[in-house]
Amino acid sequence: MQLFPPLQFGWLNGWLLFALHIAVQGLALLLSPRPVVARLFDRSGWSVKQRSFTILGKVFSLVCILLIILTPLKSGSPVFIAGLAVFALGLVGLVIAMINFKDTPPDKPVTRGLYKISRHPQIAALTVIFLGISLAVGSWAVLITLLLSRLFQHFGILAEEEVCLLRYGEPYREYLQRTPRYFVFF
């Protein structure tokens, strides 16, 4: 791993894995009913502070994506193989979480499948996907921007939980008490 691997346009860059992730996630969204997609991207009820921190997180995400696109894959290296394995694990987790979300009625909180062991398995899976890509390109800079993006976007996660608590009431409060936020952290 390097802090700043050489940035260049190329056919064998991290964009390949990023594009695969976008294709899989896009297909899952296209196969989901519109109300499910609308619920997934609903930001009503968020404070200005929560929106601001989330936007800042998205700026770091954009920097992370640009670095991924311009960084060559470290194909053939052990870190590349490890990165592919982590990426695949995250991609499978994302698909399962999106199916769990899609199959839950809109008037109920999502608590089945991966949502039994994490309140935000889609976010956790996306983090694992990008962790895998950062390993596959061998870049500490990608990893650092990913962590900064997730740090700021955490405030959006807290906002989602507040809105869900208002929307679903006591069943969601019980869910919050028994299910960790990101698989391992309560």
pLDDT at residue 185 greater than cutoff 80:
no
How many Å separate Cα 112 from the centre of its chain?
18
What's the whole-model pTM score?
Answer: 0.88
Q: Decide: 123 and 101 in contact? Cβ < 8 Å.
A: no
User: How does residue 184 score in pLDDT terms, banded at 50, 70 and 90?
Assistant: low
Query: At 186, is the pLDDT very low, low, confident or very high (cuts 50, 70, 90)?
Result: very low
What's the CA gap between 156 and 133, in Å, rounded? 23
Instruction: Report which of 81, 56, 55 is spatially closest to residue 135, judged by C-alpha positions.
Output: 81
Residue that the structure tokens 């404070």 belong to:
47
> Would you state the structure tokens that stand for residue 104, as one six-digit string?
């839950």
User: Poorest-confidence range of 39-48, 90-99, 100-109, 142-151?
Assistant: 39-48
